Amino acid sequence: MIDPKSAAAGNLAADRIDLKLIADMVPRDTKVLDIGCGDGALLELLVNERGVDGRGLELGQSGVNNCVARGLSVVQGNADADLSYYPDNGFDTVILSQTLQATQRPHDVLREMARIGNRLIVSIPNFGHWRVRLDLLAKGRMPVTGALKASWYETANIHLCTLKDFADLCDVLSLSVERCITLSRGHATAYAGRPTRRANLLADQGVFVLRRL
């Protein structure tokens, strides 16, 4: 269970419990790049509560403007096109929360992230969740779940994967899975290393801490 009194529990939306987990995994007073930072909720938390030197990259203009007006260092851009302009090892931690599945080339995004920082935190929705499997198997329809809310024709999520798929890709990219926390209806389970088959069935999302090998 997530401790509701944890520093990270701040003002985050109830359905973005992954953000609270991520915030607790970021060491204090480090330099962090948050890719796809949205309205800046995580970044603000990191800057204010953990003394982080935080920067954000966000595609949506209203999100960016909102962030900057609140004093956060955020630029408008997208993960596929703009990461290549960041310097090698410019950050201690690079975060990508619930964004990978919406990128054009997820493997290139991860490669760029690993170049920019040594430590990555990536959260993804799990397409291996039993509800997803059941929807396809029983209903024969593309699944719509709590973590995947949009219908297939309007979803921004073009590269969905299971927790297992993701861990496999990390192997290919020489990224070691240091920790994985899976979320199942708000309940968190921590794993040292790759998530289990059981987690791949039961978790609706996963938060991975990765390191360059």
Partner 1 sequence: MSETGVKNEQSETVLFDSAALKLDCGVTLNHVSLAYTTYGTLNGDKRNAILICHPLTCDQYPASENPQTGRDGWWTQAVGPGRPIDTDKYFVICSNVLGGCGGSTGPQTDNPDGSGPYGLNFPVITIADMVRAQNLLIDHLGIESLFCVIGGSMGGMQVLEWAAMHGPRVFSAVPIATSARHSSQNIAFHEVGRQAILADPEWHAGAYYEKDAHPRKGLAVARMAAHITYLSETALQRKFGRNLQDRESVTYGFDADFQIESYLRHQGMSFVERFDANSYLYITRAMDYFDIAAENNGNLAAAFKDTATRFCVMSFTSDWLFPTSESVNLVRALNAAGANVSFVEIESDKGHDAFLLDEPEMHATLSGFLKSAAKARGLIEGGRDHD
How many other C-beta atoms can be found within 10 angstroms of the C-beta atom of residue 213? Answer: 10
Q: Looking at beta carbons only, is 91 or 166 nearer to partner 1?
A: 91
Tell which positions 12-31 bind partner 1, by CB under 8 A: none
Burial class (CB in 10 A: 0-12, 13-18, 19+), 134: exposed
Q: Looking at beta carbons only, is 31 or 131 nearer to partner 1?
A: 31
Cβ of residue 33: shortest distance to partner 1, in angstroms? Answer: 9
Count residues binding partner 1 (CB under 8 A). Answer: 22
Cβ of residue 19: shortest distance to partner 1, in angstroms? Answer: 21
Cβ of residue 84: shortest distance to partner 1, in angstroms? Answer: 9
Cβ of residue 47: shortest distance to partner 1, in angstroms? Answer: 9
Task: Give the strand pairing for 187-192 and 175-184.
Answer: antiparallel
Mask of contacts with partner 1, 35-64, x by CB under 8 A? -------------x----x-x-----x--x
Rule CB under 8 A: say whether 7 interacts with partner 1: no
Cβ of residue 44: shortest distance to partner 1, in angstroms? Answer: 11
Tell which positions 70-109 bind partner 1, by CB under 8 A: 70-77, 82, 85-87, 90
Residues that bind partner 1 (CB under 8 A): 48, 53, 55, 61, 64-65, 67-77, 82, 85-87, 90
